[in-house]
Structure 1
Amino acid sequence: MSGRRPRTGHDWKVLEEACVALLPRVPELVDEHLRQLFEHSPVYARVLPYDQQWREAEDAMRIGIETISAPRASPRRDLEYAEEAGRRRAQQGLPLDLVVHSYRNAGYLVWDSLLEGTVGQDPEKLAVLMRSATMVWSAVDAQAAAASDAYRATEMELRRRTDEQLQALLDALLEGQSAPGLASQVAAGLDLPERGPYAVVVLRAERRDGRAAFHRQIQRAGFRFVWRMRTDREVGVVALGAEEGLDELTAALDGRCPGPGGISPVVAGLSELGHARRLAELALRTCPPDATGIVRLDQRMPTALVVSQPELAGRLVSDVFGEVLALEPADRAVLLETLDAWLACEGSAGRAAGRLYCHRNTVFNRLRRLEQLTSRSLARPRDLMEMTLALDAYRLAPG
C-alpha cells in the first residue's frame, strides 16, 4: 500500500493562490459566520455588541486564512490571536463549547469557500486542495485548542480571584464590618441565604492533622459549613436548616472535632456573623488548655462571664483562694482537684472518691480543709458560687 503523497511546491502555490483569492470575500464570510452562530445559540448575541463581534471575527478569519497560505511562518499569529480570544471569551462569560463551535463553524466556511473558488476556476486544482485538507483542519484544530487552553486558564484565574474576593468579604463580616450590601454580596457569591439561622464555630487549630478527615465527616453530617483559617484557630460559618439547631450541630461536631472548640448562639443572618464569631471565641476561651471537646456558649455562661473579665477573674481567684495558693504546689493541687471532682459529680462525695481513687471520708476532709482556708462554706449557695467561679478562673487563667 503506497504512502500519502508529499505536498510539492506546486501544491503550496495552489493553496496560497486559493487563499489570496479568498481574502476579498472575508467580509461576506463573516456575515454568514455570525448569522449561523446566532442561529445556533442566542447566547452569542448576548456576549457583546454585534459590531465588536464582527470585527473580531474578521480579524480571526483573515489571520487564519493567511496562516493556511503560509503554514511555516513563525510565530503563529493565528495561535496568538486564538489565545487572546480565548481569554476574552472567558472574561465575557461565553461558554467554552460555544467558543470551540465558533472556530469549527469558521473552519467549515473557509474550507467550503476554498473548494468552491478553486473548482470554479480550475477543476484540476481540486485534487491539490484535497491533499491539503489535513493541514487546513489541523490549523483549525490548533486554533481551537489554543483558545480552549487560554479560556480554561483564564477561567481558573477568574475563579481564584472571585473566591479570594468572596473570602475577603466573608472575613469582613466575621470581623463585624457593616458596609452596605456586604451581606447580600456574600449571600449571592456563596449561595447562602442572607437571612436565616446561622451559628459560628471556632476551633483551636493547634493540631492540624486530621482536619481533612474532620471536614469530610462534617460534610456527611448534613450541615453547610464555610471555613476560614486563622493563625491559631479555624472559624466555621454554619447555615442551620429549619429542623437543625444547636443540639444537632453539637451532636454532629462531638467526637469528630480534632480539638477544643466553641459554638456561638444562633443569629438571624449573615450581617450578625461578627457578633456570633466573638461569642464563639468567648465559648472557646472557657475550654481549659487540655480540653478536646466542643462547648456551647449558652451552656457555659457563668464561666464565660469569668473569662470575659480577666482582671476581675484574677481578683476573684486571689480573694477566694488566697490561702490555698500559698500552699505547697502538690498540696494545693490536691485540694483544687478534689473540689473540681466534687463539683463535676454534682456534690456527691462517693462519686468524687471513685473518680479520685480515695475514700469518701478523704473527700470530706479535703473539702472541710478547703472551707477553712477560704473562709467559705460549700453549703451556702453564694459561697459555693464564688468558689465555683474562682476555680474556673484559676483553671483558665493564662499560664
Structure 2
Amino acid sequence: MGGRRPRTGHDWKLLAESCAALLERLPELVDEHVGQLTEYSPVYGQVLPYDQQWREAETAMRIGIEAISAPRDSPRRDLEHAEEAGRRRAHQGLPLELLVHAYRAAGYLVWDALMESAAGREPERLAVLMRCATMVWSAVDAQAATASESYLATERELRRRTDEQLQALLDALLEGQETPGLAARAAAGLDLPEHGPYAVVVLRTERHDGRDGCVRPVLGAGLRFIWRMRADCEIAVVALDAGQGLDEVARLLDGRRSGPGGISPVVSGLGELGRARRWAELALRTCPPDATGVVRLDRRMPTALVVSQPELAGRLVSDVFGALLELEPGDRAVLIETLDMWLACEGSAGRAAGRLYCHRNTVFNRLRRLEQLTSRSLARPRDLIEMTLALDAYRLAGAPTTTGPGR
C-alpha cells in the first residue's frame, strides 16, 4: 500500500486486531455501502443486479480491509482487484465518476467503522488509528487511481474496437457489398437512417497525414459528414435532410480544400453508397490535374463519359485535334485557350476577347484557324460537341491550356 506504515510492532498488532474485528462486521458494512450507493445514484442498480453488486462490493471491501494490515512486502491484492474492477466497470458502462465515488464511499465507511471500534476503549488504540490515517487514505487513493487508469485504458480499447467495427461497416457499404443486414447494422452503429437521401464525396489528397482508417463524424451547415481517411483521398458519406441538396454540400466544401473533389448524385439509402462512391470518384476524375474546386457529377456528365472511356478519349483527341497537336507548343496553346474561353463565355467572341486581353476579331481569326485545322465547324452542333469533348479529354490528359494574358 502507499503511504506511511505504523512505526512499531505494537501499533501494527493493534491495527491488525481492529481490521480483524471489522471483517466480522463485513456483511453489515456491505449492506450499508450498497444502500448508500443506490441512494446516491440509481445508475448503480441499473448497471448491476443487487445480488451481484452486493457480492462484488463484499469482495472489494474485504480485500481492502485485509490490505490495511497486510505485511509490508505482501502482494498488492487490493490494487490487482481495483485494476480488474476498473476493466469490468468500463465494459458494464458504469460512469467513471460513479466508480471513483464507490471507492471513496467505501473508504469513508471503513474508516468510520475503525474509529467507532476504538471509541470508548483504551486511548492507545485510537492514537494508533490516527497515526495510521495517512496510510489508510493513501491506500484508498491508490485503489481509486488504479481503478480509474484501468477503466480509461479499457474505454480507449473499446472505443478503438468500436471504431474498427464502424470502419469495416462503412468500407463494406462504400465497396458496394450486398451482405444481408449490412445496411441495418451500419445504420445502428453510425446512428444514421438506413433509408434517406445520401451523397458521397471523394477529395484528392497529396499526402498521408497518419489519419488513415479513422471515422470522423462532422456536422456542418445542417449536414452530417462521416469521413474515412485514406492514403490518397478522403471519402465522406453525407446525410442530407429533406429539402437539402448538393449545392449545400458543394458550398460547404468548396474553397476549404487545396485539391479537387467529386460529389455523387443523391442516392436513396445506405445500401446504395457503393454506387455513389463510384460516381463521386468519376466526378473527381473529371477535374484537371491543377484543379482545386469540388465538382458535381450531375453537372459534368459529358466530361464523365469521356474519362470513363480513356482509350476512346485518346482516340477522340487524335481524330479531332490531330493537326493541331503538330503545331509549336505556344501556338497550339493559344488556339486551345481561345476555344476554351469561347466555350466558357457561351460562344460570345466579345466576352472571350475581354478575358483574353485581345481584340474581338482576333478571337474570330483564331477560331477560324481552329476550324481549318480540325476540319470541323463550330456552327454545326455535332462538330461542336466533338470539339468540346475533345477539349475535355485533352485537358484531363494533363496538357496545358493557358499561356497567360498579354500575348
TM-score (norm 1): 0.88
Is contact 1:207–1:258 with CA below 8 Å preserved after alignment? no
Moved more, 20-29 or 341-350: 20-29
- Once residues 256 and 90 of structure 1 are traced to their aligned partners in structure 2, the CA distance between those partners, rounded to angstroms, is 39
Partner SS, residue 236 of structure 1: strand
Is contact 2:198–2:240 with CA below 8 Å preserved after alignment? yes
1:73-84 equivalences in 2 (<5 Å):
73-84=73-84
Hey, what does 1:193 align to over in structure 2? 193
What displacement does 1:366 show? 2.1
- Once residues 366 and 180 of structure 2 are traced to their aligned partners in structure 1, the CA distance between those partners, rounded to angstroms, is 60
Aligned-partner residue type, residue 262 of structure 2: G
Partner SS, residue 197 of structure 1: strand
2:8 pairs with 1:18: no
Quickly say closer, same or farther: Cα 1:373–1:309, change in 2 above 3 A.
same
Moved more, 243-252 or 335-344: 243-252
Gaps in structure 1 of 5+ consecutive residues: 1-5, 212-217
Hey, what does 1:177 align to over in structure 2? 177
Quickly say closer, same or farther: Cα 1:80–1:208, change in 2 above 3 A.
closer
Partner SS, residue 225 of structure 2: strand
What displacement does 1:49 show? 4.8
Is contact 1:67–1:73 with CA below 8 Å preserved after alignment? no
Partner SS, residue 149 of structure 2: helix
- List per-residue Cα deviations over 1:236-289 (Å, max 9, x = no partner): 222222342112222222322322111111122222221111111111111111
Aligned-partner residue type, residue 368 of structure 1: R
Aligned-partner residue type, residue 234 of structure 1: E
Q: How many residues align?
A: 389
Aligned-partner residue type, residue 226 of structure 1: I
Partner SS, residue 20 of structure 1: helix
Which is helix-richer, 1 or 2? 1
2:284 pairs with 1:284: yes
Hey, what does 1:214 align to over in structure 2? none
Is contact 2:313–2:390 with CA below 8 Å preserved after alignment? yes
1:115-194 equivalences in 2 (<5 Å):
115-119=115-119, 122=122, 125-194=125-194
- List per-residue Cα deviations over 1:184-221 (Å, max 9, x = no partner): 33333333232222221111112789x9xxxxxx8554
Hey, what does 2:365 align to over in structure 1? 365
1:1-399 equivalences in 2 (<5 Å):
7-70=7-70, 72-119=72-119, 122=122, 125-206=125-206, 221-397=221-397
- List per-residue Cα deviations over 1:62-101 (Å, max 9, x = no partner): 2211111136335422112111111111111111122122
Is contact 1:16–1:69 with CA below 8 Å preserved after alignment? yes
Moved more, 295-304 or 324-333: 324-333
Is contact 2:208–2:231 with CA below 8 Å preserved after alignment? no
- Once residues 241 and 20 of structure 1 are traced to their aligned partners in structure 2, the CA distance between those partners, rounded to angstroms, is 66
Is contact 2:221–2:248 with CA below 8 Å preserved after alignment? no
- Once residues 386 and 350 of structure 1 are traced to their aligned partners in structure 2, the CA distance between those partners, rounded to angstroms, is 23
Partner SS, residue 33 of structure 1: helix
Gaps in structure 2 of 5+ consecutive residues: 1-5, 212-217, 400-407
Aligned Cα root-mean-square deviation (Å): 2.7
Aligned-partner residue type, residue 255 of structure 1: G
Partner SS, residue 202 of structure 1: strand
What displacement does 1:378 show? 0.7
Hey, what does 2:403 align to over in structure 1? none
TM-score (norm 2): 0.86
- Once residues 382 and 71 of structure 1 are traced to their aligned partners in structure 2, the CA distance between those partners, rounded to angstroms, is 96
Aligned-partner residue type, residue 238 of structure 1: V
- Once residues 295 and 268 of structure 1 are traced to their aligned partners in structure 2, the CA distance between those partners, rounded to angstroms, is 20
